[in-house]
Homo-oligomer: A and B are copies of this chain.
Amino acid sequence: MRITQQQTQENRERIVHVAARLYREHGFDGIGIADVMKSAGFTHGGFYNHFASKEALAAEATKLAFQEIAETRARSGDLATFLAAYLSATNRTRPGQICPAATLGGDAARSSDDVKAVFADGVQGMISFIEDRLRKECHLSKEEAHNRAVNLTAKLTGALMLARAVPDDHPLAREILKSCLDGCLAEIRGQSSLPQT
């Protein structure tokens, strides 16, 4: 039963939206096409009417995930607020909603160059955002702001990834997030040393 072109477009977007959540939760290899389609409200047979392959969906879903995060970022307040939100305890337990750089980095490294290119764009966006804020809020030079932004991006993604890779009740789960947030905040305030807890 054929449907309207608009409905087709909406259905396709729903599949990508669901995939963006499920891939972040379970990894590219941890969830099947049938599961994605079922979560989107369809049977698996129609998948190839929309996408060339599972890998193609992975690329699109990763792209959408980065776009969603970029929008959230743009709506956030100052840089300190963004950092606190990124390294929050609630973020640690909501893999389906958070920055894909922290959940799908390993998966992307094992994927095609298509996925990696999407990943690079997303990381570049995060770096550019932080760089921009550093220039405006901290009045740093373009070069200085850029280098610091790259460093902060690596630290943020690494901290969230590591915090999620340890047991919920392990001290490191909280300590990594707190210590790195303190360190990041100290850095954007131009202090050379970390606060004494």
Contacts and interface: CB of A to CB of B under 8 A. Distances in A.
Interface string A174-197: 011001101100000011111111
Given A124-B172, A151-B155, A183-B151, A165 B105 contact: yes
What is the predominant secondary structure among interface residues of chain A facing chain B? helix
4 nearest A-B pairs in the assembled complex, by CB-CB distance:
A158-B158, A192-B192, A29-B29, A154-B159
A180 B151 contact: yes
A154 B180 contact: yes
Interface residues of A, number: 58
A183 B148 contact: yes
15 contacts: A25-B110, A95-B109, A106-B165, A116-B166, A116-B167, A120-B172, A144-B196, A147-B179, A147-B197, A151-B179, A153-B158, A155-B155, A158-B159, A158-B161, A192-B192
A183 B158 CA distance: 15
B154 A30 contact: no
A197 B107 CA distance: 31
A181 to B, nearest CB: 10
A157 B162 contact: yes
Contacts of A123: 162, 165-166, 172, 176
